[in-house]
Chain A
Amino acid sequence: MALSITVRLRDGRYDAAFPPDRVEWPPHPARLFCALVASADYDTGTTEPAGASADDVALRWLESAGPPLVLATPRSEVGQFVREGFVVSNKTKAPDKKNPFGGSTVWPGRTNGESLRRGALPADEHLAFIWPDAQADDATLWRLTRLTRRVPYLGRSTSSAEVLIHDEVVAHRPTWTAYRPTRIGTPRAIDLRVPYPGYLDQLRAAYDDGHRAWEVCRSIAYLADEDATTDEAADETAAAGAVGPYRDLLLWPIERGTVPISGDRLLAVTEMLRRAAISRIADPVPAQASGHGADGRPHVAFVPLLDAGHQHADGHLLGVGVAVPVELAGDDRLAILRGLLGADGEDPIRELRGGTAGLVRLGDPTDLPLTWGLRPDRWTGPPSGGHRWVSVTPVMLDRYPGRRDPAEVLADGFVTAGYPRPTSVTLLERPIVRGAVQMPRRGSLPDKRARRPILHCQVEFPTPVRGPVIAGALRYLGCGMFVPEVSRAGR
């Protein structure tokens, strides 16, 4: 048994954008789910416990059924359009000297504004979302049938749609390609927002609190079949060309609902993470994890994941990460991963205690990342690597520069840390990434450590480098962490 939800775009058009400046194609599974939620019988003023209605039971089943396959026109065969129009704004205001042309010529005392609407024009107006292994019982299927019948449109209300449900895998149309979930970082993968267990509650809570649905969305990487087969060799070569001392980056989100931890407390939190990890790794603790007796080899690094690099970034800690080096014996790697995630991978570290940051609760590292800053590729860069990186936590020089140029000392520091020698290192007077930490909090530097200059910089490597990029003294506790520098268009 399987479940398919088919959509016929009545006007052959899909008016939707995500993010707002990009046409959305294929339609995201989460958008379909939200349309079903909007169709459900739900009383915001109810005193019944949440999820009591039969519609909610069906929606909860669907959100737990995993990300679906999306069958739709390949992106290469989808036209895009931008529709412009002038709309009267909802402000009563007369034009004035400053803005004599802004007044509406039709509605007295009102102003006009331009409005842009983006949309997709696929070669085939049909598409399908398929859960091949889903086993819906009759009651659930009937409820979902009712919900789909009430969906008048997908995307904007101008793209009307007919949505139908089937308890089988619908026949594949020759005009379709299959978009399948894939690993993060897969070349040519695209992010689609998907439902996840708890999504319905998150949506309802967001609605009740006056937040938008996109604020609780989660994306996963999808790859179209047609993209998976093209030029794979070139991508592999590109990925193989990227160098870096770390192989894995494991990420833990910090649980929401607590007071945000300021980014300048990074050392307190990473030290707690380090201690928690070492206490869970079976003896003898590998030298590259403890840092004792592993001179000359890269250590396991405990790093902070900052909210940085976007318009509203405030630099708080979104989560913590552990970077595991490439050069690590198989047994040692296994011992370290077992310590971090539990013997069978089911018991990851969930709490950090005993530091000045108080108790820090961590989410499940296997959860789909809720935000960009918690995705591995935010910190590792694309699989093909990146040439230009910029610091988000300050770099402490490995040694006093004396009469040397600090940029040279920094360049040496990258080599020491296992990266190629940079072609250029540009010192920055202050961090240029929004949300970056200027300095660790006073008093948070470990005792007995020499105090050396702390700087921010941009760096360019001659060959593509795979992240995470961490350099300088205290790098194994997350000082000197970099993010790939990409143009806004490349995001």
Chain B
Amino acid sequence: MSGLVDRLISAVGADRRESGIGFNAVYQPVGGQGGKIMPPTLPVPDDVKRAAQRDGRSLRPYLFEERLIDGERRDTVVLDQVPSQANRVEEALLAARDTGRLDLPMFELLMKDEGIRLTSLDFPHRYADAYLRDSEVAGVRFDSSEVGQALRLASVNDVRPLYRREPYSLIFGAWDSHRKGRWPKFARLYSSMMFGTEWLTGERRAGRFDPMNITGAIDDKAKAEGNWRFLPEGTKAKGGKLSEIGHGHIAPNASHGGVTVREVRRQGWISCAGLERLRFGDASPEAATLARATLAALALAGDRLAFGRPSLWLRSGCDLTKVSETLFFEVVGGAQEPIEASSAEILAAFVELRDRAASAGIVMEADVIEVAPTKQLAEAIRFALRSAAPDAGE
């Protein structure tokens, strides 16, 4: 373990040889190659929709991109983008914290009656998030609170406030684009992406079968949750379709049908150059190096917690089995030096580095600060929960 700690320290030190820590993994669909997987769907531009209708093709609401793979330009289908992978690591870190495997600092916004819990590892814009801004700490508006003001002091020259309370903003990147004035940008140090190679698109026809074979119509779909009236077939009244309120048959129609791929790859990266760029104010160079190594270890630990598992469930219809994986330090020129460490050893390395950085003067907290939504935010959240956006349907 101390081997890993020393290596991480040297990898972010002044005389480092390492460019970063890389992850290369190969996955296949559960059940073997050839199994269908569902990539994330994205809106299809109107002109593409029209062209597909004209040519009688089914729509492919997926993201395809060319990549250089083993020196060759190849077509790939994107299975998980960089921000999404970061969110998966955050989820894994939150789960580890909740189960007591890892002590991490956290803000927690609770609305017990509504069953809402949002934490630092959930906030979409991290330390700069509007949920935080529109909250209160012990009755004081977040930005005016002691901790809120400390976070506002984080700058490119001194990231200690973020390191102390919000290290995730440094690892996954954050930029306060919404508050007035100019705020520093923290670029992500950790990035990861998954894609499938040599894809073939699938076809699907989907309908709905009503077991009771209900036919007829309804008077008003707006009354779906109330007293709608059934209009039997033959009734001379203008009504709506039964299917609009979830009854009756729906004739099968074309729907996006997923893809099959030769293999799924994940490529991840923790940048030593990015870590070296972080500055810690007037802290000693040794302390700064330890803090950088701590962040590297936290990113590495997060990656292991999220992706160190034998399989990975990205979304419905996209369950993947790991075939192989390498973790490595990449040194100048691109050579790879494998990292032989278990997840437990990596977590332990993080704890050791964090404690050593704290002894040297740069502290990362491990407690939870509870925040409460302002009246307006609570109202917006309750409204959103009551009237969830209608489902766009298939």
Contact = CB atoms under 8 A, between A and B. Distances in A.
Contact of A100 (B83, B182, B389): B389
Contacts of B124: 87-88, 90, 107, 110
A39 B130 CA distance: 29
Given A44-B155, A103-B389, A157-B188, A83 B65 contact: yes
B128 interface: yes
A433 interface: no
Given A103-B384, A150-B276, A11 B267 contact: yes
Interface string A74-104: 0000010101111110111111000011110
A176 interface: no
Interface string A55-85: 0000000000000000000000001010111
B273 A125 contact: no
Nearest to A209: B182
Interface string A112-136: 0010000001010100000000000
Contact of A160 (B20, B65, B332, B390): B20
B310 interface: no
Given A8-B334, A162-B332, A90 B81 contact: no
A223 to B, nearest CB: 25
In the complex, which of the residues A45, A107, A109 has the most CB atoms of chain B within 10 Å of its own CB atom? A109
A372 interface: no
Given A79-B73, A94-B380, A101-B389, A12 B67 contact: yes
A150 B277 contact: yes
In the complex, which of the residues A121, A152, A162 has the most CB atoms of chain B within 10 Å of its own CB atom? A152
B78 interface: yes
B251 interface: no
B393 to A, nearest CB: 11
SS class of chain B's interface: helix, strand, loop or mixed?
mixed
A164 interface: yes
Contact of A210 (B19, B66, B181): B181
A338 interface: no
In the complex, which of the residues A38, A123, A149 has the most CB atoms of chain B within 10 Å of its own CB atom? A149
Contacts, number: 141
Contact of B78 (A83, A91, A95): A83
B2 interface: no
A13 interface: yes
Given A38-B277, A103-B384, A79 B66 contact: yes
Contacts of B392: 101
Contacts of B99: none
Interface residues of A, number: 52
B1 interface: no
A252 interface: no
A153 interface: yes
A45 B43 contact: no
Given A90-B177, A152-B274, A83 B73 contact: no
Interface string B62-89: 0101111000010000100111000000
A206 B178 CA distance: 19
B125 interface: yes
Interface string A199-226: 0000000010010000000000000000
A322 B382 CA distance: 66
B73 A123 contact: yes
A110 to B, nearest CB: 7
Given A43-B157, A125-B68, A86 B380 contact: no
B274 A90 contact: no
Nearest to B380: A109
Given A38-B277, A84-B43, A108-B385, A93 B380 contact: yes
B271 interface: yes
Nearest to B155: A44
A42 interface: yes
B389 A95 contact: yes
B191 interface: yes
B187 to A, nearest CB: 4
A295 B367 CA distance: 87
A151 interface: yes
A2 to B, nearest CB: 21
A191 to B, nearest CB: 25
A124 to B, nearest CB: 9
A105 interface: yes
Given A84-B43, A160-B271, A94 B66 contact: no
B376 interface: yes
A444 interface: no
Contacts of A91: 130, 178
Contacts of B178: 90-91
A104 B274 CA distance: 31
A151 B43 CA distance: 35
A90 B188 contact: no
Contacts of A153: 187, 271, 274
Contacts of B267: 11
Nearest to B387: A95
A53 to B, nearest CB: 12
Contact of B189 (A88, A149, A152): A152
Contacts of B334: 8, 162
A149 to B, nearest CB: 6
Given A101-B392, A157-B191, A92 B376 contact: yes
A45 B184 CA distance: 14
B212 interface: no
B189 to A, nearest CB: 7
Interface string B142-159: 000000000000011100
Nearest to A163: B273
Contacts of B274: 152-153, 157
A157 B130 contact: no
A12 B387 contact: no
A174 B386 CA distance: 62
23 contacts: A8-B334, A10-B269, A13-B67, A38-B156, A39-B273, A41-B279, A44-B157, A79-B66, A83-B81, A94-B383, A101-B392, A102-B389, A103-B388, A108-B381, A109-B384, A110-B131, A149-B16, A149-B273, A152-B189, A152-B272, A157-B274, A158-B188, A162-B273
Top 8 A-B pairs, shortest CB-CB distance: A12-B68, A152-B274, A109-B380, A157-B187, A152-B273, A152-B271, A210-B182, A94-B383
Given A92-B134, A94-B381, A108-B385, 4 more contacts: A103-B384, A114-B43, A160-B20, A160-B271
Interface of B: 16, 19-20, 42-43, 63, 65-68, 73, 78, 81-83, 116, 124-125, 128-131, 134, 155-157, 173, 177-178, 181-182, 187-189, 191, 193, 267, 269, 271-274, 276-277, 279, 332, 334, 376-377, 379-381, 383-385, 387-390, 392
